[in-house]
Structure 1
Amino acid sequence: MRSLPRFSAAALLLIVAASAPAAEPGAEWAYKPFKRPAVPDVPAQKTAARNDIDRFLLAKLAEHKLTFAPEADRRVLIRRAYFDLIGLPPAPEEVEAFARDNSPGAYEKLVDRLMASPQYGERQALFWLDVVRFAETDGFNADAPRPNAWRYRDYVIKSFNADKPFDRFVKEQLAGDELYPDDPDALVATGFLRHYPDEYNAVNLEQRRYEVLTDITDTTSGTFLALTSGCARCHDHKYDPITQKDYFRLQAFFAGMWPTEAVLLTPGARAEYQKKLAAWEAKTAEIRAAIEAIEGPYHQKASAKQRTRFPDEYASLLDIPFESRTPIQKQLGQLIDKQVNVRGDVSKSLKPAEKERVAALKAQLSQWANEKPPEPPRAMAMTDLPTPPPTNLYKRGNWQKPGAKLDPGFIATIDDRDAAPQPTNGSVGRRAALAGWVASRENPLTARVIVNRLWQQRFGYGIVRTSSDFGVTGDRPTHPELLNWLADELVAKNWSLKHVHKLMVLSAAFRQGARGEEAGATADPDNKLLWQYPRRRLDGEALRDAMLAVSGQLNLKAGGPGVFPELPAELQKSSAGRWTPTADVSERNRRSVYVFVKRNLRYPLFTLFDAPDRNETCARRFVTTTAPQSLAMLNDALVIGFGKQLAARVTKEAGADREKFVGRAFLIAVNRPPTSEEQAAMAGYLARHKGSDEEARADLCHALLNLNEFVYVD
């Protein structure tokens, strides 16, 4: 028997590239400037259109002799609007009031009210946190916590609520420290550049630095430009017009990176803090020196042991004064220092007499505690060295094989020039130049990409279904003129995301029912033309929030460090020390966007319902249907507990009468009254149940939480 030929990885890549289909005509559409197209005239279907979005959609539907499905029932519509805009179910009284209100402006008033709600930003932030791979731990084996990461999450929520212009939103995240140095929010925003998974205890520091730069470059281009530029790290992109030179010119914008835990104080407040701290230090200098005399040798011993992990070429950097180091030595030295100069607790190593002496000294120190200013708030931020290290074009992407040096520059197909950074506010200005280019009206990608992401949030898929890949191998837009119109509309309205979002939610396309005509299923089985509203399952976060809300337990407190809800008993046993439930039960019951994001231990309900692990950027979540989802909803003690709490709430509101109990339970859980058949069946179930009345009601409410009507949005 003849053996198959063996190929190297490089040879296989060439074979695959040679056998790949040629790019279809017009595949580079995304690199061309967008212009505002004329809105189609659809006279025969004017009554179906509520705004210009509908006219673009109806024109395409007309080509297939299709139109929109009839408008959804008002109970369905309010539930849809609530989950889309704030990610929570409406209260029964709100549903009933909207169902009775047939005034022309009722729906728009509902939308305005929801978009003005503080819960709006909490819901809209979720898709952005997926894209930027936000997490509160480092990942990798140690998965150490990031105590200040949550401030970025709160910044995103605050920005969406305030309808911060998207171009400003972009600039703050790429270069807030350079462009707006006196704005604490802008410093927090640069946390975007800090969300890379970090194997901080790595020994090969040059490789680790390169991996971090690669992650930042890839995530930046994917998030804002929907480009898979990472494919050009090792060679010119096989399909898209992105060269290896383009890739490393982009990477050069970040070459001077200097991660920091920024102090979030105004200049005046910072000066006052420093004054008080200096006074406290002067008064306690003698005591602290005495403590250091005892503990210092133990710290030095621990540091010396850590230092031996590194080869001399790295460890010796710590012996060079900071100001005498080259830029690359400063960056590598920072990575070493994080591992070597660790001021851990050495109390277990102290001799008994030393312990006694340190305890006495610390008791003296505590007498001055009231004079020590509280630690100022800090945030994960990114700044730059005054002189960045050089950037090379690495051969085949290998950091050990540097080629020609490159200056920061842009994607040649879009804008073939090197950047011209303008040093400002004490910074080198590289990232400010990048931010200005990305957030420019002339950039053909940025506005298109974000309105496409908004469309994906409303309808399940973007106009370009590969929402982080506008390249040749990505999907072509189903409605290219509409995409360009939306991009232009965004820029024309001062980059207002709320404006574009509202247009989408007010459209007839969004308001239509989830069951269209049968001809649509034949002509367009994937519903790419939107001849009916795409029925959608709740994601794990919205499902948990909905169960908390209907059971009367949801805590709407906003902001702050991540919280730790209770884990299933079997997982809690295996995760001791890695996930300690928050002591205050009401804190555990805060919205899911505030649940601590641990890369190596995701909250189980979110995992079951397809939440990403945040190690990599996630442009669109998968939606799976699996047996473990059903088993968890039926058997998990936490879900059963939600059913019990819902039953207690309904009993409190409806009283002992079983008929009223069933009616109220349906209104709360699925926002409609039961049918006569359902009413009879549920009342009969309560009467026949072999347990107590309380147990029967809890089981009935648990069953309601398992209805498709509860888990899906029509």
Structure 2
Amino acid sequence: MVRPPSPPVFSNDFSRFGSCQPAQFRVTLKHGCFPPSRQLMKRFRLVCLMLLGVFAHSEWGSAGETEWSAQKKNHWAWQAPTRPVPPTVTDSGWVRNPIDAFILAKLEAASLKPAARASREQLIRRVTFDLIGLPPTPKEIDAFVNDRDNAAWEKVVDRLLASPHYGERWGRHWLDLARYAESNGYEFDEPRPNAWRYRDYVVAAFNADKPYDRFLKEQLAGDELYPDDPQALVATGFNLLGPDMTDSANQAQRRQNTLDDMTDTAGLVFLGMTVGCARCHNHKFEPITQADFFRMQAFFAPADFRRDLPVVEPAQKAAFEQHLKTYQALTVPARASLEKLEAPYRQKLYDARFARLADAARAAHLLPETERNALQKEIVANTARLLVVPAKDITATMPKDEQARQQKLLQELKKFDSQKPSLPTAMGLQESGKTPKTFLLKRGELKNPGDEVQSGWLTILSPGHRAEPAPFKAASPISTGRRTALANWIARADHPLTARVIVNRLWQHHFGRGIVATPSDFGLRGTPPTHPELLDWLAVEFVSPLPSGEGPGVRGAWSLKRMHRLMLLSATYQQSTTPAPEALKKDPPNNLFSRMNRHRLEGEIIRDSLLAVSGRLNRQASGPGVFPPIAPDAAGAKDWKASADPADHVRRSVYIFARRNLRFPFLEPFDVPDSNQSCPQRERSTTAPQALALLNSADVAVAAKALAARLEKDAGTTDERITLAYRLTLGRTPTSGEERLARAFLAESPLREYCRALFNVNEFVYLD
């Protein structure tokens, strides 16, 4: 019999805790060898106090300066990028642009060679999915394969960049970062009727190749910088896309949660920094203080969080206001009569609710707002919703005859509904002229404020690493200009992080992994860049106002399409996915990019491909989210009412209503991200539910039936149908062996089952 290790001996000498390993603790628990409970609790309290002493050191406290080590101060990501000279390489004939020189130099240093160029069929399938998220048609494949012009590849890239589907594909990447959803989350998960306007703004911005610095500024401070541009107001909805507990009893805490979320998200998305880890204490690993977090938050503090921001041109707004005056004039008698009828019942119900409040709460409500202390303000925020009188309660307390009068007045008002004007609205930020103070919150708790802080840059990125207030200028009589200052600082061409972060995101989506493998963490705990000189060259090139001469149609500074073009025209991008044995041995994870990385398509792109190849895809763009039907027994199906128009059932997946607590069932197995937080990189798992979705789901069954009908219509013989099926689904012609197997299968099974089988081939959902 094997005896367990002896449990630790407890004594008053706490140094012995240091030698007690986890395995010993497990044995101690198993054999019941802890000391009596009173002794245990006494020592447990002492240990907790000791730990609190350790963690409290520099945890909270003042907004003063912090000393950091040279390693933290001199981290590569805090230094502004400079343009390096592309290295000289031995195999210069392989180099198509400077990207290749940087890649090849590393390969040659490791005694490795790049992979051969992919076939034309592979290349056009790869780039079409990369840029527009749809499979190439047989006609498009043939045009490229048979085009002997030296610029054939460039023409394909330029055509796809000009496609309206480009914005849908790359807008989806951005929506992952922006934690986009069309509902609030939490228990009730109420819909956000106008959140889709932000999605449409993003798609349009990508299609128009809006300069990234302008795109960034609009989202942080569009209302201040471009107040007459409705789309810039829509853009500020970025800040409010996180989950929101709208029914919270504590509205002050609700606002603080939103401020925390927008501060954290801005740091992750635009700076690639985990700023949110400093909300409750100084960052444990990065040179980011808790004061830094709240200094950054102070930029957002004056903003009002609007869910109904009018998004129209000034002339349209003036016309609306005139129509509203007309409507109000027409309805004055009915509205006045209704108010007179309901007022006494509303007041009686209000008084009853007020009387049920605690003495302290009643006293707080009776004080003028300016005379309430912090505790009284919190009490008022927590109890205000208890005093709201629902309309149904007013009706219930009325006598029958007055209920009849009320209904008559409501019906009279309803007659004017068609004349009641409405404005398109969106979520967004707008300032009211009030500038609340911002305090460092100890442990991140609203009820535990510390020192007051002023808006300012992150200390580690400030001149001399000194924490000083940021200069800002009022943007208007009611706008402080604080967010303008933040946006201009982040969008500086010489900012050490902004350009690096976004070009790394582009590289990540084209090559399967970023030059920095942690795309939203460029800090000390992030992964160092595999090719730092290349990253700097791309960042400087990105913000450069002058074209580098890579071909016609070159765009200017901050152009995302220009960066796409540069990456896609490189020999590095055009490599095959087949690894050389030596490369597998020396560089298994392909950190040196000696080949292209094979990867699975996202769930949305798989669904869109099913619709496209079966000829059912509705390419209509924009508008409110749609509801394709889901199985009635699916979780949450009672909250998912299918769209009335069948054409909406086959829209692109980016337009499916994005509900936080109910993700579209077909997409969920394919690693659809959690929209409660920014997602810089989707997981790419391989699981049984994915195979079951492709084999058994109604979406695939319908697509297989539709593809079979398309093949029967467009191809006459069995061999022609087999060939067309391969070209539509896999982008290539079948081999002789595949043709033979297909004939044998079709001799015994219907064509729709063969189509379903092709949808389940790895090649359909993977990209070479």
TM, length-normalised to structure 1: 0.91
Q: Residue 121 of structure 1 aligns with which residue?
A: 167
Q: Residue 692 of structure 1 aligns with which residue?
A: none
Q: The residue matched to 1:688 in structure 2 has which SS?
A: coil
Deviations 1:96-149 (A, max 9, x none): 221111211111111111101110000001111111101111111111111111
Conserved? CA contact 1:393–1:404, under 8 Å = yes
* Aligned residue among 713, 732, 752 for 1:698: 752
Q: Residue 332 of structure 2 aligns with which residue?
A: 285
CA distance in 1 between counterparts of 2:50 and 2:276 reads 17
* Aligned residue among 683, 708, 711 for 1:647: 708
Deviations 1:424-465 (A, max 9, x none): 223011111111111111211111101011111111211100
Q: The residue matched to 1:382 in structure 2 has which SS?
A: strand
Q: Residue 228 of structure 1 aligns with which residue?
A: 274
Q: Residue 33 of structure 2 aligns with which residue?
A: none
- 552-561 or 393-402, which moves further after superposition? 393-402
Q: Residue 680 of structure 2 aligns with which residue?
A: 619
CA distance in 2 between counterparts of 1:428 and 1:528 reads 46
Conserved? CA contact 2:115–2:576, under 8 Å = yes
CA distance in 1 between counterparts of 2:371 and 2:228 reads 29
CA distance in 1 between counterparts of 2:575 and 2:117 reads 4
Conserved? CA contact 2:154–2:569, under 8 Å = yes
Deviations 1:592-650 (A, max 9, x none): 11111111111122221001120011111111001111112111122211111111111
CA gap of 1:278–1:583, structure 2 versus 1, over 3 A, is same
* Aligned residue among 573, 576, 579 for 1:516: 579
Amino acid at match of 1:457: H
Deviations 1:398-441 (A, max 9, x none): 33222211110001111133111201223011111111111111
CA gap of 1:268–1:245, structure 2 versus 1, over 3 A, is same
CA distance in 2 between counterparts of 1:308 and 1:525 reads 72
CA distance in 1 between counterparts of 2:596 and 2:84 reads 25
Q: Residue 287 of structure 2 aligns with which residue?
A: 241
* Aligned residue among 511, 520, 543 for 1:459: 511
Amino acid at match of 1:11: L
Conserved? CA contact 1:217–1:250, under 8 Å = yes
CA gap of 1:588–1:331, structure 2 versus 1, over 3 A, is farther
Amino acid at match of 1:608: P
Deviations 1:156-215 (A, max 9, x none): 111111111111111111111111111101100100111121112222333333222211
Q: Residue 246 of structure 2 aligns with which residue?
A: 200
Conserved? CA contact 1:456–1:462, under 8 Å = yes
Describe how 1:469-548 pairs up with structure 2 within 5 A: 469-492=521-544, 493-548=556-611
Amino acid at match of 1:250: M
Conserved? CA contact 1:258–1:331, under 8 Å = no
CA gap of 1:708–1:272, structure 2 versus 1, over 3 A, is same
CA distance in 2 between counterparts of 1:165 and 1:568 reads 43
Deviations 1:484-504 (A, max 9, x none): 011101100421111111111
- 262-271 or 530-539, which moves further after superposition? 262-271
CA distance in 2 between counterparts of 1:33 and 1:521 reads 35
Conserved? CA contact 1:210–1:399, under 8 Å = yes
Q: Residue 399 of structure 1 aligns with which residue?
A: 446
Describe how 1:171-190 pairs up with structure 2 within 5 A: 171-190=217-236
* Aligned residue among 713, 727, 730 for 1:670: 730
Q: Residue 679 of structure 1 aligns with which residue?
A: 739
The unaligned stretches of length 5 or more in structure 2 are 1-6, 11-24, 26-42, 59-68, 545-555
Conserved? CA contact 2:252–2:378, under 8 Å = no
Q: Residue 418 of structure 1 aligns with which residue?
A: 469
CA gap of 1:28–1:10, structure 2 versus 1, over 3 A, is farther
Q: The residue matched to 1:388 in structure 2 has which SS?
A: coil
CA gap of 1:266–1:10, structure 2 versus 1, over 3 A, is farther
CA distance in 1 between counterparts of 2:49 and 2:231 reads 46
- Measured after TM superposition, the shift of residue 67 of structure 1 is 2.2
CA gap of 1:144–1:275, structure 2 versus 1, over 3 A, is same
Q: Residue 634 of structure 1 aligns with which residue?
A: 695
Describe how 1:75-154 pairs up with structure 2 within 5 A: 75-154=121-200
- Measured after TM superposition, the shift of residue 517 of structure 1 is 1.3
Conserved? CA contact 1:125–1:156, under 8 Å = yes
Deviations 1:228-258 (A, max 9, x none): 1122223322221112221211111112231
CA gap of 1:672–1:271, structure 2 versus 1, over 3 A, is same
Q: Residue 413 of structure 2 aligns with which residue?
A: 365
Deviations 1:519-548 (A, max 9, x none): 110110001111111011000111111111
Amino acid at match of 2:521: D
| Matched positions, count | 700
Conserved? CA contact 1:23–1:472, under 8 Å = no
Q: Residue 624 of structure 2 aligns with which residue?
A: 561
Q: Residue 707 of structure 1 aligns with which residue?
A: 761
- Measured after TM superposition, the shift of residue 70 of structure 1 is 1.1
Amino acid at match of 1:220: A
Q: The residue matched to 1:511 in structure 2 has which SS?
A: coil
Conserved? CA contact 1:189–1:381, under 8 Å = yes
CA gap of 1:688–1:533, structure 2 versus 1, over 3 A, is same
CA gap of 1:325–1:90, structure 2 versus 1, over 3 A, is farther
Conserved? CA contact 1:242–1:412, under 8 Å = yes
Conserved? CA contact 1:227–1:469, under 8 Å = yes
Amino acid at match of 1:217: T
CA distance in 2 between counterparts of 1:302 and 1:86 reads 58
CA distance in 1 between counterparts of 2:242 and 2:269 reads 13
Q: CA RMSD in A?
A: 3.0
Q: What is the aligned-residue identity percentage?
A: 45
CA gap of 1:290–1:204, structure 2 versus 1, over 3 A, is same
The unaligned stretches of length 5 or more in structure 1 are 690-695
Amino acid at match of 1:151: R
CA distance in 2 between counterparts of 1:380 and 1:329 reads 30
Conserved? CA contact 1:50–1:507, under 8 Å = yes
CA distance in 1 between counterparts of 2:284 and 2:361 reads 37
Q: Residue 693 of structure 1 aligns with which residue?
A: none
CA distance in 2 between counterparts of 1:566 and 1:192 reads 29
